[in-house]
Amino acid sequence: MNTLHPGTCELTLGIACFAIGIAFIGLHAVRDGRSAGSNWSLAAICQGSAWILASMGGELPAFLTIVLPTVLGAANAVLLLRGAASYMPAPSPCLLKPQPWTGLLLATALLYALSGATARVPLLLASIALLAFHAPRNGRLILCALFGIDAAWQLLGAAAGMAGMAAVGELLRGALTILVIAAQFRIESDNARTSLQALADALEVESLQLEKTIEARNRELHEIATTDFLTGIANRRQFMARAEMELERSRRYGHKLALLMVDIDHFKSINDSFGHPTGDQAIIAIGRHCATACRRSDLAARLGGEEFAILLPSTGENEARIVAERLRAGSQALQVRHQGRAVPLKLSIGIACLEEEDTGPDTLLARADQALYEAKNAGRDCVRVAAKAAA
């Protein structure tokens, strides 16, 4: 009947534990000895080295096959406890120093020499207590069970004098060491997955916030590029782009189109008599007045200085006259005052309606401007309609 040869068993277990400990600590991000994973990897390396050296009894000096394995076995138990202690949320400062652990290692090594592997039991029980209170929930039960099986086997072996089961005991201890590292690897993998998911969620939130910020900035830039800073209505660039679009639409569908050029009468006198701030207030009031006179489909814009324009899609000459007269008459009721004095506001308005000869917004605007010039020459505060474009 074949039996397990102690030397072969120790060598095999030693190589397995040593390799697994080296592999895990190589993958581990924290190698300063303060994490459970790094301590337990070192514990596996120590235990594996102890078994490898012990398996070479008779081939190497006694110091290497007896004394050193005893110290390494004690180091395994101490590192198991130190790994469990690393889960404490706020460990005592003394636990972060090497001196207490060195003292514990020497004491454990001495007990190992006197009583064998049962010296591990107090350290294993202390580890179980620490793990029960501080280990992560996703690995607490399995870690406590593995440490408990190791301690129970040591006590059972000592109580029953199971010398004949030494090889089985070594196999069990080797398996438990490997399983402890596997359990820790699972804990750290779960924690890493949770951290990555939290990071991904945070990045998604930041990405959404960044998209909203970019959209808001784009809206601000679009508003700056298309809006007159003083009045809040469209600027010349926006007006010309919209006029081009409406002119093409009117030609395609045969719709009418009218354009009003609006100018504040005697605006230079307002600035000279009341000051430029009051002049700005007058421009703001007229800009709002023009915007109020517009339908949803219309567009009011400030072209520059005291000059405004209103685009009236689907509007003929008669309707444009009504809008212009309402705009002109309404301006006189606007409330702009300077030091208690009313500032008179009157408008001259030129109208141009789209003709077949109009080649683009510029020609339509030029004809409306000519009609405005005629209104100025007629004494201001009136409305004039541009003649048809020349063939």
Q: Are residues 172 and 257 in the same domain?
A: no
Domain contains 214: no
Q: Which residue has the tokens 């438990």?
A: 176
Tens-digit pLDDT string for the chain (391 aa): 445 566 677 788 788 888 888 887 766 545 555 788 888 888 888 888 888 888 887 777 878 888 888 888 888 888 888 888 888 888 777 777 888 888 888 888 888 777 777 788 888 899 899 989 988 888 889 888 888 888 888 787 666 555 444 556 666 766 777 788 778 777 877 777 888 888 899 999 999 999 999 999 998 888 888 999 999 999 999 999 999 999 999 999 999 999 999 999 999 999 999 999 999 999 999 999 999 988 889 999 999 999 999 999 999 999 999 999 999 999 988 888 888 888 989 999 999 999 988 888 999 999 999 999 999 999 999 999 998 755 4
| Packing angle of the helix pair 36-54, 68-85 (nearest 10 deg) | 160
The rounded distance, in Å, linking the Cα atoms of 287 and 281 is 10
Q: Which domain holds residue 42?
A: 6-199
Per the rule left: phi > 0, alpha: psi between -120 and 50, beta: everything else, 157 is: alpha
Token digits of residue 112:
């190992």
Where a domain ends, among 177, 199, 221? 199
Domain contains 230: no
Q: Are residues 195 and 240 in the same domain?
A: no
Q: How many domains does the chain have?
A: 2
Q: Are residues 192 and 43 in the same domain?
A: yes
Where a domain ends, among 199, 226, 247? 199
Domain contains 340: yes
Domain with residue 259: its CATH number is 3.30.70.270
Its pTM stands at: 0.54
Domain contains 231: no
Q: Are residues 83 and 164 in the same domain?
A: yes
Q: What is the Cβ-side half-sphere exposure of residue 79, based on CA atoms within 13 angstroms?
A: 24
Q: Are residues 261 and 172 in the same domain?
A: no
Q: Are residues 310 and 190 in the same domain?
A: no
Q: Are residues 241 and 193 in the same domain?
A: no
Q: Are residues 14 and 142 in the same domain?
A: yes
Domain contains 363: yes
Q: Are residues 79 and 161 in the same domain?
A: yes
Q: Are residues 330 and 244 in the same domain?
A: yes
Handedness of CA 175, 178, 181, 182 (dihedral sign): negative
Report the 3 state secondary structure along the chain: CCCCCHHHHHHHHHHHHHHHHHHHHHHCCCCCCCCHHHHHHHHHHHHHHHHHHHCCECCECHHHHHHHHHHHHHHHHHHHHHHHHCCCCCCCHHHHCHHHHHHHHHHHHHHHHHHHHHHHHHHHHHHHHHHHHHCCHHHHHHHHHHHHHHHHHHHHHHHHCCHHHHHHHHHHHHHHHHHHHHHHHHHHHHHHHHHHHHHHHHHHHHHHHHHHHHHHHHHHHHHHHHECCCCCCECHHHHHHHHHHHHHHHHHHCCCEEEEEEEECCHHHHHHHHCHHHHHHHHHHHHHHHHHCCCCCCEEEEEECCEEEEEEECCCHHHHHHHHHHHHHHHCCCCCEECCEECCCCEEEEEEECCCCCCCHHHHHHHHHHHHHHHHHCCCCCEEECCCCCC
* Closest by CA position to 26, among listed 136, 197, 181, 174: 181
Q: Are residues 54 and 160 in the same domain?
A: yes
Where a domain ends, among 146, 180, 199? 199
Domain contains 112: yes
Domain contains 206: no
Domain contains 227: no
Q: Are residues 194 and 243 in the same domain?
A: no
